[in-house]
Structure 1
């Protein structure tokens, strides 16, 4: 028994990944290409155990309508799309045609490209094009940190009762305790805002760099 989450060594992390739907060839190839092509940005990709969790959560919630803000090279979107039924839909928002060009190839390889609608442009603008009704089952936010409050404000009113929003990087490698830059300060403030938002019940999990799950009333 322990009173807090245990730290993960490299060996323990490898054990954890291997014992929870370990990455298949498509995910391994996507991770390898991202590292080879974008070595300085590869850490923007979700962790392998987080990808497995996103697929599991999408299936568990019975998601049919999902949104992702911040797609990068496509691992998180691939994971979410794999959890959708054949008639499910994932709308992805990103600003980079270059990065998402890598994603498109792996979506097609995994046979989920027909479930994904990619929209290129600032999400602060393109999110407003979504229907103004409570229809979304799931949303994943993993984009520019200072934009989180804007994305939250657009998504919460569009979530069906019981819908879930997942928000990545809410621990900022521990720097939310003592913010060191604008992104750290933005996330620390955002976390406080989520805690005070009476429209949701939220839990923060120590997965990867911290993941908040918020269930909308």
Structure 2
């Protein structure tokens, strides 16, 4: 059972990470799905997405929940029936959930060179100056994760990553910063925590993932 890590990010918020090493059938055998989730799973064209979906359900069970405790609102945001706040993310070989007593957003991303090609579309690239290319990739991935996590937390149509979500200056070693959402004439403030996760698969080159959580200040 590859529960990779549990991270206590505060006294009332906890991240659960699953390293996906199982095949589809093994994951499928070990979870119970309601009809709507089964239909959603069957509609996924990518086996990687299917396995990520099932690994999230494995994490539910680790945390004391099942798929039957989860529902989505009209905007697609996940909720738990007992009122605990939840956010979900999946990237390649990892799935993650965060549970909290307050509204929270999570994002998990594999660090890849593609992020530098698209960086001008979602961030101020001057924030990447004076860094090596590897550091630029890692920092741009954190910035993308910040914007994804804030978006998931707020979950409103019309939010633009470059136009509405702004991160404070930070260094990769800080592992935290703040962010603001400027939207509909309101400025909202968020505390950001981020951490890098290294895949420990001995059969493949070491791969870095970035985990970001956003909570309302």
Superposition TM-score tier, normalisation by shorter sequence? 0.3 to 0.5
Q: TM-score scaled by structure 2?
A: 0.34
Q: TM-score scaled by structure 1?
A: 0.34
Question: Structure 1 or 2: larger strand share?
Answer: 2
